Amino acid sequence: MKFLDHAPRFLFFTGKGGVGKTSIACATAVRLAAEGKSVLLVSTDPASNVGQVFGVSIGNQITRIAAVANLSALEIDPQAAAQLYRDRIVGPVRGVLPEAVVKSIEEQLSGACTTEIAAFDEFTALLTDSALTRDYQHIIFDTAPTGHTIRLLQLPGAWSGFLEDGKGDASCLGPLAGLEKQRSQYQAAVDALADPLRTRLVLVARAQASTLREAARTHEELAAIGLRQQYLVINGVLPAAEAAEDELAAAIFAREQAAVAALPVALMALPRDQIALKAFNLVGLDALQHLLDVDEPRSAVVTQERPQALEAPTLAAMVDEIAADGHGLIMVMGKGGVGKTTLAAAVAVELAQRGLPVHLTTSDPAAHLSETLSETLDHLRVSCIDPQAETERYRQQVLQSKGAHLDAQGRAMLEEDLRSPCTEEIAVFQAFSRIIREGGKQFVVMDTAPTGHTLLLLDATGAYHRDIARQMVDKGVHFTTPMMQLQDPKQTKVLLVTLAETTPVLEAAGLQDDLRRAGIEPWAWIINNSIAAATTHSPLLLQRAANERHEIAAVANVHARRYALVPLLKQEPVGIHNLRALTHREEV
C-alpha cells in the first residue's frame, strides 16, 4: 500500500460516512503495530465504532489494546466535547440575556461546525504536546478536520465576542468563542498538519462518481491551505473474479471500473491505492489483519445459500401512499453518496407517469440531473438551482447589511463565515422557498434539501420565517411561511435516504434528530442500493447481503415510522425506464 510507504508520524484519514475510513484507520494501526512500532489510534468521528471494531471499551482516555502489542487507542467523544464547549459559552450569559437570545446562541452552537471545532480543540495537544505523546512513533487519526475548520483557526484577531456583538447570525464563527487554548497552540497544530515530513492525509472514497467527486473537493480545499501531502484510497472495489459468476456482480464491477477510469482531474496526480471489497464484517482483529491484503484468497469467501427473501415494503407502495394526496411537497434528504438525487428523480417520474403534475427541483449540478433523467416526460417539470450563484447572491446581501459597519478584522471573519457549508444551505433554501408554495396545487419534489440545523438557524435569526411572520401580523393577514409549511405533515413529507450500512444509518438518525429539533417529523426512510433486496449468486455479495440485515432491522424497528427497501439494480438507474425499475413498475 503506497499510503503506508515511509509513513510519517501523523496519519489522518478523511472521507464521507460509509466509505470505510474507520476500518482502514484501524487496519493501518494494526499493520504498523505488527511492525513493532508504538501506535496511538485516535478517533474523533461522531459515529465512531473503534471500540466495537476491537471488541473493547475505549472512551476518552488512552487505553491499551490487549490483543495487539504496541497499540493504544483513544476515542474523543465529539458530542460530549461539543456539549462542554457549549456550556462554557452559554453558561455566563444564561439568566443575563433574554431567553430567546440564549436559545438562538444554543442553536448556533449545535451544528457540525461546533462539533468539529470542539473535537479539534480536544486533540490539538496530541499534535503539539511532546510530553503527552512521546511514547508513540505513530499517531493515527480517524477523521481529519475540514479545510473550513482549519481556515477558521487561521483567521487573524480575536475569536470571542462575535456572537455577543450580533455580528454572526447564522454563523459558524460562534463556536470559536469557546476555544480554550492559546492561539500559538492552534497555530502549532496547523503547522504540524501542513508539514509533509510529519503528516499525511489519506482521502478515502468508494469507486463511485459521487464519492470521488467529494474526495476531489476535499483535496482541493485542503491543498489550497497548504495541506498537500495527500494520498487517495479507493475502498471496497469488487474483485474481478466475482464478476465472472453473476450478472449483478458483473454490472457492479463494470460501473466501478468506469468510475475509476473517469477519476476527477484533481485526484489523478495523487498516489493511489485500491482495497478490494471483503465479504466479512470489518470487526475483530482477524478482519483488520486482512483488510489491507492486496489479494483475498477465494477460500476466504464462504459459499452460502441465498437466504430467505426479505419481506420489506417497496418504494412502489410508498409512492402509492404519496400519490393518494394528489399534491404536496416531498423533501428528499440524506448524507452524500446515498443516492438521494436518483431517488428524488424516481419518485418524481413515478408520480408524473400517473398523470399527476410534478415539479422536480434540485441544487445538484444540472448535468447530473439531466443525465439521470436523460429524456423529457409529460407532467414533469425540472428546475435546477445553481448553488454557487445563489450563495454569492446571499453573501453579497449579508456583506452589504451585516458587514457594512464592521472593521477590517470583523469583515474578514464574516467573509470566512460566509464560506461555510451552512451558508450554501441557507442560500439554496431561500431559492427553494420560492418554489415550495407550489406544493399546494401540485407535487414538488425537492432534492438536496437543507438540514434541520440550517432550518433552525434561519428561524432563529429571523432571516426568513420571523420576518414574514412579523410583516403579516402587522397587516392582519393569515399567512404560512416556508418554515411553517415544512413543519406541517399535511403539506410536507420528508424522505430520509440511507444505505444498509452502519455509518450511513447512524448519520441518517442524526439528521432525523436535527429535523425533530426544528419541529419537522420525517415521514419515511428509504434504504437504497440494498444487496439483500437484490438477486445474486455471488458468494461475496451473498455474505454482504447477510451483513445488511442487521441495519435494515434497525431502520425498521428503531428509527423509522415507515420505510422502503430499494434493491441494487444491474442497470444503473439512468433514464426514465431504469428509474421506474426502482419503483418496481417495469423490469430491466
Q: Which residues are catalytic, by number? A: 18, 20-23, 45, 503
Residue 223 CB-half CA count within 13 A:
16
Cα-flanking dihedrals φ and ψ of residue 580, to 5°? -70, -25
Residue with cell 420525517: 522
- By 3-state DSSP, what share of the chain in percent is helix, strand and coil, each rounded to 5? 50, 15, 35
Number of residues that this document lists for the chain = 588
Tally helices (H) and strands (E) across the chain.
25, 15
Q: For 147-246, where are the alpha helices, taking DSSP H only?
A: 147-154, 183-194, 209-223, 240-243
Q: How far apart are CA 413 and CA 159, in angstroms?
A: 9
Angle, helices 183-194/112-128, rounded to nearest 10 degrees: 80
Give the Cα separation of 492 and 487 in Å (integer).
Answer: 7
How are beta strands 63-64 and 71-75 bridged, if at all? antiparallel
Ranges of beta strands (E only) in 93-208 are 138-142, 199-206
Phi, psi dihedrals of residue 309, rounded to the nearest 5°: -60, 145
C-alpha cell at 543: 455474505
DSSP bridge pairs for 469: none
The answer for 371, left when phi > 0, alpha when psi is -120 to 50, beta otherwise, is alpha
Radius of gyration of the chain from its Cα atoms, rounded to whole angstroms: 24
By CB atoms closer than 10 A (0-12, 13-18, 19+), residue 76 is buried
Judge whether 24 and 204 are in contact, CB under 8 Å: yes
Contacts of 229 (CB under 8 A, 6+ apart): 8, 196, 199, 200, 201
Distance CA 218, CA 203 (A): 8
Strand intervals (E) in 312-456: 328-333, 358-362, 380-384, 443-447
User: Of 108, 149, 161, which Cα lies nearest the Cα of 463?
Assistant: 108
Residue given cell 436523460 in the structure block = 374
According to DSSP, the residues that pair with 358 across neighbouring strands are 380, 443
- Other Cβ atoms closer than 10 A to 31: 18
Nearest in space to 180 (alpha carbons), one of 256, 87, 262: 87
Question: Cα 581 to chain center, whole Å?
Answer: 27
Give the ranges where 91-182 is alpha helix by DSSP (H). 99-108, 112-128, 130-133, 147-154
d(CA 524, CA 555): 10
340: which 3 cell numbers? 438521494
Q: How many whole angstroms separate alpha carbon 18 and alpha carbon 39?
A: 24
CA distance 134 to 92: 37
**How many whole angstroms separate alpha carbon 574 and alpha carbon 373?**
6
